[in-house]
């Protein structure tokens, strides 16, 4: 009798097929990593036994400390301890510095971008975030016993293109393969949706440390359709803390605070906020250099302090319902996300507005990471899940600068992504060979009131008479909400070259330089990392093309098939070796040889769809 | 690309939106980039492009005006973006009156009543024009197609008015 093979819990029966994937909630205050094991999504604990890691990075003379240890040092060493770095992601120096009174470290201008002067030199938010991501990925690798194939990282739905790009750059710097940037509310709905098989329209109210999101989703047979999203990328529980700090200052009469005093006030403010969630009246002690300050605060006092902020979130809820074309009665459930939703006033205000008791059965601090883990498990290919489909929208309109400093919208907010829209431009001078395009994101009509995303210079336009050249510029937003731009002159078919100057982002070259010089990589062998990356991509290409050959070899002539097989064989051989450049060349060669094949396959599947075949017959 | 074919729906103005939605999801389940996340860089890029096309097709069929324009385009009639000075005086008069009504709202003693009045007028006109559009398109001949194009141009004015009214309404609360 054959013995039954019983897999150990947490291990697949065929371990070589199970790929390690994780979901990461890169939060303003805390970050978490989660994964699906034995069919269940769970947060992962580090060696110290914690799953919630404070998003705090401290730079010392020759070390980088992340998490609880760094948070403990925040008061001691405020200049070199970076908290709430998420608020700085993709932001300009001028934008942040105008509102820097609560930021206890020294901000510097890194060619327009905000950065922080630390004992280890200037660090930008991407580098700081990469430290947090690398720490979480380490926890996952250690717990799961292997390197991660890919991760899903969550971002606020309201994040604009620069903030998303900065997050992706941070992951790249940390050496992670990003399967998807997932919107936090979608992740939260995913965690709840699969749990209880919900159907209907739900609102996700996400009040984190530094950001507020409100999203309306329709859940139907495994489809998560975002109907509208809105919020405020600079409003969160941290602002509750700051209102308490202001109140404390009035109590103590201390108008001006040093960096470390501000830290002490902030720590006390947070404790007061957390305690007032459970009690109505609180006696507190604020340690000061001049001695202890003893005071008293009631929940009603606290409610009055934060009332304007809570009202601001409810206003955003109204707006997003309007965008979705829905009334409050049509919302069946409200999912609560983020630690700040523990505040009683927040819960009651939300319950009152939506006339529904908010869902809180999954820990609001962990629900996003859990949803991200579920999606990571699907995307990496562990679960051939044909049912789940996430349809997200672009949170802010994309537009172009036109004459007179006005913005013309190309892609309105709440358009389902991926999306591609083309716009035609023409030259206005004889022989003109270049053109500048300014892309903005926001809802206002004036350029100055929107956020500048990037400036594109189109060059190599064929010289023609004025108005003769028609340049078709295509704006494409992928499933991560990231913009890319291509341009083509219509009559000649010549591709115009595009140089992108991100307004609040790093160029590809800058990211590459950061990777080269990064401390994260000094620990590993840089060359080895690059080799590994190419090997992984080679493996993907081999798998994809082999699967295509198995399915659709009939689309190729015998000769074509032979050359594809030769390219594959060559790639498989080169992949075994350690010549990074050769592997890269072999991938490019294979791609080149199979371009036509891939196009034919895509054509066929679209044509089959056009001819009325059901999808499962294709 | 013929969007009606893509969603296996008859090429006509009247459309079963539920059916459209179901077909749309079937297609996205196949082409959405998430279904190709483990693929090679090129596979991922192609998936983004296809999913974007499908979204565009869905968007175009869902909205009555875009659907009508697509239908006319399939019949070889492209509606140009530039304004054509085709409008009958009666239509222009009506537009001016509605615009005046909208302008009065902010100073009115009872703005809600004026908003309701403007909204009712706009909805009524829209409904009537959409009915006309449907029968013009159903006739399916060149003469009626040109009529349909004119109705679409008129409808655009009303959709624009409706949008402006919504903006005014938002500034009221």
The single residue listed with the structure tokens 């992928």 is: A478
A38 has pLDDT over 70: yes
Residue percentage of chain A with pLDDT more than 90: 35
* Closest to A59 in 3D by CA, of A128, A158, A135, A129: A128
B135 touches chain A (CB under 8 A): no
Q: How many angstroms separate the CA atoms of B46 and B119, rounded?
A: 44
What's the ipTM?
A: 0.82
A334, two tokens: 């409200």
A537: nearest CA in chain B?
B40
DSSP state for residue A393 in the 8-state scheme: B
Q: State yes or no: is A73 an active-site residue.
A: no
Q: What is the pTM of this model?
A: 0.80
How far does B164 lie from chain A, in Å, by closest CA? 14
Burial string for B38-60 (b: 16+ CB within 10 Å, else e) reads bbbebbbbbbbbbbbbbbbbbbb
Mutate to test the interface with A, among B37, B159, B169, B170 (most CBs of A within 10 A): B37
B168 touches chain A (CB under 8 A): no
Q: What are phi and psi of A481, to 5 degrees?
A: 85, 20
DSSP state for residue B140 in the 8-state scheme: -
| Residues in A touching B172 (Cβ below 8 Å) | none
Q: State yes or no: is A25 an active-site residue.
A: yes
Rg (chain A; Cα; Å): 26
B77, two tokens: 């009639």
A497, two tokens: 């070259």
Cis status of the peptide bond prior to A117, with omega within 30 of 0: no
Q: How many angstroms separate the CA atoms of A596 and B56, rounded?
A: 25
pLDDT at A6: 39
Q: Kindly report which listed range (A166-180, A294-308, A377-391) carries the lowest average pLDDT score.
A: A377-391
Q: State yes or no: is A525 an active-site residue.
A: no
How far does A306 lie from chain B, in Å, by closest CA? 22
Check if the beta carbon of residue A92 is closer than 8 Å to that of residue A100: no
Q: How many angstroms separate the CA atoms of A381 and A18, rounded?
A: 8
- Tell me which residue in A180, A476, A612 faces B52 most closely, judged by beta carbons: A476
Q: How far are the Cα atoms of A233, A476, B159 from residue A87, in angstroms, in the given order?
A: 8, 26, 39
| Contact state of B6 with A386 under an 8 Å Cβ cutoff | no
The single residue listed with the structure tokens 């009665």 is: A329
Q: How many angstroms separate the CA atoms of B40 and B47, rounded?
A: 11
Mean pLDDT of all residues in A197-213: 83
Q: How many angstroms separate the CA atoms of A57 and A131, rounded?
A: 7
pLDDT at A507: 74
pLDDT digits (tens, 9 = 90+) for A270-286: 999 999 988 999 999 88
Mean pLDDT of all residues in B133-161: 90
Identify the active-site residue in A77, A206, A239, A261.
A206
pLDDT at A616: 44
Structural element, H or E, at residue B106: none
B26 touches chain A (CB under 8 A): yes
pLDDT at A55: 94
| Residues in A touching B58 (Cβ below 8 Å) | 416
Per DSSP, the three-state class of A604 is helix
Identify the active-site residue in A131, A184, A241, A401.
A184
* Closest to B26 in 3D by CA, of A237, A542, A391, A40: A391
A617: nearest CA in chain B?
B30
| Contact state of B48 with A150 under an 8 Å Cβ cutoff | no
Q: Tell whether the torsion through CA atoms of A553, A554, A557 and A559 is positive or negative.
A: positive
| Residues in B touching A610 (Cβ below 8 Å) | 1-2, 5-6
Q: State yes or no: is A138 an active-site residue.
A: no
Q: How far are the Cα atoms of A214, A216, A266 from residue A313, in angstroms, in the given order?
A: 8, 14, 22
Q: How does residue A361 score in pLDDT terms, banded at 50, 70 and 90?
A: confident
Q: How many angstroms separate the CA atoms of B88 and B72, rounded?
A: 22
* Percent of chain A that is helix, strand, coil (3-state, to 5): 40, 30, 30
Per DSSP, the three-state class of A422 is strand
The single residue listed with the structure tokens 């599947």 is: A605
A469 has pLDDT over 90: no
A384 has pLDDT over 70: no
pLDDT digits (tens, 9 = 90+) for A494-553: 776 666 667 777 777 777 777 766 655 555 566 777 788 888 888 888 888 888 888 888
- Tell me which residue in A180, A381, A420 faces B49 most closely, judged by beta carbons: A420
B82 touches chain A (CB under 8 A): no
A3 has pLDDT over 50: no
Structural element, H or E, at residue A457: strand A451-459
- Tell me which residue in B27, B43, B48 faces A479 most closely, judged by beta carbons: B48
pLDDT at A76: 83
DSSP state for residue A460 in the 8-state scheme: -
- Give the Cβ contact number of residue A285 at 10 Å: 11
Q: Kindly report which listed range (A98-107, A198-207, A438-447) carries the lowest average pLDDT score.
A: A98-107
Q: What are phi and psi of A353, to 5 degrees?
A: -65, -45
Q: How does residue A12 score in pLDDT terms, banded at 50, 70 and 90?
A: very low
- Tell me which residue in A419, A598, A609 faces B42 most closely, judged by beta carbons: A598
Q: Kindly report which listed range (A4-8, A446-450, A591-595, B141-145) carries the lowest average pLDDT score.
A: A4-8
Q: How does residue A245 score in pLDDT terms, banded at 50, 70 and 90?
A: very high
Burial string for A413-433 (b: 16+ CB within 10 Å, else e) reads bbbbbbbbbeeebebeeeebe
Q: How does residue A31 score in pLDDT terms, banded at 50, 70 and 90?
A: very high
Q: Kindly report which listed range (A61-75, B80-94, B129-143) carries the lowest average pLDDT score.
A: B80-94
DSSP state for residue A392 in the 8-state scheme: -
pLDDT at A5: 38
Q: What are phi and psi of A326, to 5 degrees?
A: -125, 160
Strand ordering across the sheet containing A333-337: A333-337, A200-207, A212-220, A223-232, A389-391
- Give the Cβ contact number of residue A516 at 10 Å: 9
pLDDT at A57: 95
- Give the Cβ contact number of residue A342 at 10 Å: 18
Higher pLDDT: A234 or A419? It is: A419
pLDDT digits (tens, 9 = 90+) for B55-101: 999 999 999 999 999 999 999 888 765 455 567 788 888 888 888 88
B6: nearest CA in chain A?
A610
| Residues in B touching A409 (Cβ below 8 Å) | none
Per DSSP, the three-state class of A571 is helix
- Tell me which residue in B6, B38, B52 faces A609 most closely, judged by beta carbons: B6
Q: Look at phi and psi of residue A338 and say left if phi exceeds 0, alpha if psi is from -120 to 50, else beta.
A: left
């Amino acid at each position: 009798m054959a013995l039954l093979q019983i897999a150990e819990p947490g291990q697949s029966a065929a371990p070589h097929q199970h790929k390690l994937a994780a979901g990461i909630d890169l939060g303003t205050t805390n970050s978490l990593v989660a994964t699906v094991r034995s069919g269940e999504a769970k947060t992962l604990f580090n060696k110290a036994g914690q799953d919630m890691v404070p998003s705090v990075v401290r730079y010392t003379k020759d070390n980088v400390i992340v998490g609880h240890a760094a948070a403990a040092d925040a008061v001691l060493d405020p200049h070199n301890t970076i908290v709430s770095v998420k608020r700085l992601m993709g932001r300009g120096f001028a934008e942040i510095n105008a509102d820097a009174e609560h930021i206890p470290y020294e901000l510097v201008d890194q060619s327009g971008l905000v950065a922080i002067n630390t004992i280890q030199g200037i660090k930008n938010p991407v580098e700081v975030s990469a430290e947090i991501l690398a720490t979480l990925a380490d926890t996952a690798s250690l717990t799961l016993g292997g390197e991660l194939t890919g991760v899903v990282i969550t971002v606020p739905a309201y994040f604009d293109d620069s903030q998303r790009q900065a997050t992706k750059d941070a992951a790249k710097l940390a050496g992670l393969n990003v399967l998807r940037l997932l919107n936090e509310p979608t992740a939260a709905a995913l965690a709840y949706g699969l749990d209880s098989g919900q159907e209907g329209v739900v609102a996700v109210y996400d009040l984190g440390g530094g950001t507020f999101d409100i999203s309306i989703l329709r859940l139907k047979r495994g489809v998560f359709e975002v109907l509208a999203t809105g919020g405020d990328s600079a409003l969160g529980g941290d602002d509750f803390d700051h209102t308490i700090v202001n109140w404390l200052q009035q109590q103590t009469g201390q108008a001006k605070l040093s960096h470390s005093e501000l830290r002490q006030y902030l720590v006390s403010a947070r404790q007061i906020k957390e305690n007032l969630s459970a009690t109505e009246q609180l006696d507190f002690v604020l340690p000061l250099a001049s001695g202890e300050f003893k005071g008293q605060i009631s929940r009603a006092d606290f409610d009055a302090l934060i009332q304007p902020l809570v009202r601001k979130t409810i206003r955003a809820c109204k707006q997003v319902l309007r965008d979705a074309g829905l009334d409050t009665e049509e919302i069946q459930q409200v999912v609560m996300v983020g630690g700040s939703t523990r505040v009683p006033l927040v819960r009651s205000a939300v319950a009152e507005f939506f006339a529904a008791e908010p869902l809180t059965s999954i820990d609001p601090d962990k629900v996003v990471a859990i949803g991200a883990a579920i999606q990571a498990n699907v995307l990496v290919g562990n679960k051939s899940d044909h049912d789940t489909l996430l349809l997200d929208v672009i949170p802010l309109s994309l537009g172009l600068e036109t004459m007179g400093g006005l913005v013309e919208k190309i892609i309105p907010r709440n358009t389902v992504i991926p999306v591609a829209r083309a716009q035609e431009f023409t030259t206005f001078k004889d022989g003109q060979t270049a053109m500048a395009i300014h892309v903005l994101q926001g809802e206002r009509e004036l350029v100055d009131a929107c956020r500048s995303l990037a400036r594109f210079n189109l060059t190599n336009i064929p010289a023609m008479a004025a108005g003769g050249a028609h340049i078709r510029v295509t704006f494409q937003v992928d499933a991560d909400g990231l913009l890319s731009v291509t341009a083509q002159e219509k009559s000649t078919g010549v591709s115009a070259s595009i140089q992108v100057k991100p307004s609040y982002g790093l160029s590809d070259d800058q990211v590459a330089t950061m990777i080269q010089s990064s401390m994260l990589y000094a620990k590993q062998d840089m060359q080895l990392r690059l080799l590994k990356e190419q090997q992984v991509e080679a493996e993907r290409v081999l798998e994809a093309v082999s699967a295509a050959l198995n399915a659709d070899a009939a689309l190729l002539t015998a000769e074509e098939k032979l050359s594809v097989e030769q390219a594959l064989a060559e790639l498989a051989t080169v992949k075994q070796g350690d010549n990074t450049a050769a592997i890269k060349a072999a991938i490019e060669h294979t791609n080149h040889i199979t371009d036509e094949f891939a196009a034919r396959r895509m054509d066929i599947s679209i044509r089959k769809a056009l001819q009325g075949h059901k999808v499962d017959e294709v | 690309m013929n969007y009606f074919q893509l969603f296996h729906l008859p090429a006509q103005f009247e459309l079963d939106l539920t059916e459209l939605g179901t077909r749309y999801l079937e297609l996205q389940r196949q082409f959405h980039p998430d279904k190709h996340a483990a693929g090679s860089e090129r596979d991922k890029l192609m998936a983004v492009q296809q999913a974007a096309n499908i979204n565009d097709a869905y968007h175009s069929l869902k909205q009555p005006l875009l659907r009508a324009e697509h239908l006319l385009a399939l019949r070889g009639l492209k509606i140009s973006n530039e304004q054509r000075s085709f409008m009958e005086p009666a239509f222009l008069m009506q537009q001016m009156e509605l615009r005046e009504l909208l302008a009065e709202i902010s100073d009115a003693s009872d703005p809600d009543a004026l908003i309701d009045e403007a909204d009712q007028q706009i909805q009524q006109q829209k409904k009537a024009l959409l009915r006309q559009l449907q029968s013009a398109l159903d006739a399916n001949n060149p003469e009626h197609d040109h009529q349909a194009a004119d109705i679409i141009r008129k409808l655009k004015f009303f959709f624009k008015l409706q949008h402006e009214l919504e903006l005014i309404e938002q500034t009221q609360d």
